[in-house]
Amino acid sequence: MERAIVLAASAIGAGIALIAGLGPGIGQGFAAGKACEAVGRQPEAMSQIRSTMLFGCALAESTGIYALVIAAVLVFANPLVGLL
């Protein structure tokens, strides 16, 4: 019974952790939109804008990756089951 509760709570927790995907999504969309504006204003700087945008997107992604790691730990290598 306890084990079932822990497993269910872990599954729910993993799902909730991935709500953090909202943040990077908004951030990356914002970055891409701004990059489009920048290209529209200065098409000749396109390659530089692209690499800067990709770099910024990668940095913005890290919170999402943390959530993913936590969800993966909860699903594949649950430390809470060992505490029972």
| Contact residues for other proteins, defined by CB under 8 A | 54-55, 58, 61-62, 65-66, 68-69, 72, 76
Minimum CB separation from other proteins for residue 54, in Å? 7
Look-up: residue for tokens 């993993």? 14
Least Å from the CB of residue 72 to other proteins? 7
List alpha helices for 1-84, DSSP H: 2-17, 22-41, 46-60, 62-76
Is the CB of 6 or the CB of 70 nearer to other proteins?
70
Residue 38 CB, shortest distance to other proteins, in Å, is 18
Q: Which two tokens stand for residue 46?
A: 């396109």
Contact present, 6 and 75 (Cβ < 8 Å): no
